[in-house]
Structure 1
Amino acid sequence: MKFKHVPPAPDSLDFVETAQRAVPLVPGSEDDCCARMLQRTDLVSRDQAATWLTFLRAVGLAEEGPSGFSRIRQEPTREHLQEAFLAGVFGAEDVLTILREADEPLTADAVFERYREQVPQWERHKNPNTWEEVWSEKVEFELGWLALLDLAERTDDGYRAA
């Protein structure tokens, strides 16, 4: 299963470890996990914490079971996150492919223009007035993660595959 919720990339991978450690080893409710994340990180809203909880699931660092959410004992190494990001985040492979096929660095807007046809139809119908804004931001966040994970490089002109 691939997840579509992606937070903005942090300044370093250290934050990923901090966020992961905020998720309990003993399963807890989403509310409990989000409260712990707010207490133990610099996130400022429950929505941010919930997005991070979903993202940690996407990259194999947390899971949801019948009793709630819990941390997976997996070190958030760059290598693990590179593979898990591409495998678990909806659109990440496509965004990286767009960069790999480009002859020059692309801005986030240019990447979105090349990606827009891949946005699922049901997403367009769910948010007919805002889907472009939502998915443009999602692509921008994914580009930030690709750069943080050394799968892409941020240049003065945009992004290019590493």
Structure 2
Amino acid sequence: MSRSQLTILTNICLIEDLETQRVVMQYRAPENNRWSGYAFPGGHVENGESFVESVIREIYEETGLTIQNPQLVGIKNWPLDTGGRYIVICYKATEFTGTLQSSEEGEVSWVQKDQLPNLDLAYDMLPLMEMMEAPDKSEFFYPRRTEDDWEKKIF
């Protein structure tokens, strides 16, 4: 039995302005994305790049913000239909510089944190954010597809 598997590595970052209680949200249009709606920005880890370098680069490319000291707050992952695993490394950043600007990846905006439930959110964004902010939780896992959804486990 092989212990290696195809793995897709990505990241997301909850960028929060602690003074205003706002977070950066990116809107991904349904026609361009399988994970559409409002979500935290992020992207793929490039070959040879550290996870921290990748989230700093992705956030800059997608938002115009340069984050400092991103904190690892969890992992989201699920099995791929073709075998292997998709892993999202989840970060939180409260230190940043720059001016928010959208990219071809989607429109970005500051949103009051307490207004997130009112947005057209991407799949499972609220429970994912809860995991990312819970000091005793670190993994959001989809072990298998059900007939109409995914089974979910949070550890």
**TM-score relative to the length of structure 2:** 0.29
Decide which structure has greater strand share. Answer: 2
**TM-score relative to the length of structure 1:** 0.28
